[in-house]
Amino acid sequence: MQPTFTSSRILLPVRPWFITLTLVLALLLNLMPTAHWPGVPDWVALVLCFWSVREFRKVSMGWSFILGLAMDVADGSLMGQHALAYVLMSYIASSLSRRILWFPLLQQALQVFPLLFMVQVLQLAARMATGAAFPGFGYLIGPLVAALLWVPATYVLLLPQYQPVERDENRPI
């Protein structure tokens, strides 16, 4: 028998302040000095992808554009490279959200990996189009690490939405 990671628990609606908090924390994690090491995921892309899949009506391409411009300014990179990559990822993630949520968490990570990889490739293409040197293949490990972090990130980001177990057990079937 194959283990499943689905839950029949009912989730509370997500609070907008929590979405904002997680996006700001992801931005701060991207601003850490370790953000450019090989294998460190793009935290903003991971959290944006999560909320674009889970709450596509609350986290839209506008959030992606604003956070992308913030990352462009913070990195001192080509203006619009992060914004373009994040907006495209957010659009595709929200378009595929019903399909992605149909799968168990491990398979969701496989569905999200191409989106996160696309973000890195678009940013790399924009950098190299302006004459930057190829940073090496270690640059492309970040999306794999981010996809591996999809399962723990899902548990952490959904934690405030869980109802207490006693309330959840007393619901009518």
What does the CA dihedral 7, 5, 89, 87 come to, rounded to 10 degrees? Answer: 30
8 A C-beta contact, residue 83 and residue 72: yes
Q: What pLDDT does 107 receive?
A: 94
For residues 77 and 153, give the distance between their C-alpha atoms in angstroms, rounded to a whole number.
27
For residues 101 and 105, give the distance between their C-alpha atoms in angstroms, rounded to a whole number.
8
Selection from 70, 74, 51, 76 nearest residue 61 by Cα: 51
Q: What is the pLDDT of residues 72-114, one digit of tens each?
A: 998 887 888 999 999 999 999 999 999 999 999 999 999 999 9
Q: What pLDDT does 3 receive?
A: 44
Q: What is the pLDDT of residues 46-73, one digit of tens each?
A: 999 999 999 888 888 999 999 999 999 9
Q: What is the pLDDT of residues 120-145, one digit of tens each?
A: 999 999 988 988 888 878 888 989 99
Locus of tokens 């000095």: 33
Percent of the chain with pLDDT over 70: 87
DSSP 168: H
Q: What pLDDT does 163 receive?
A: 67
Tallying the residues shown for the chain, one arrives at 173
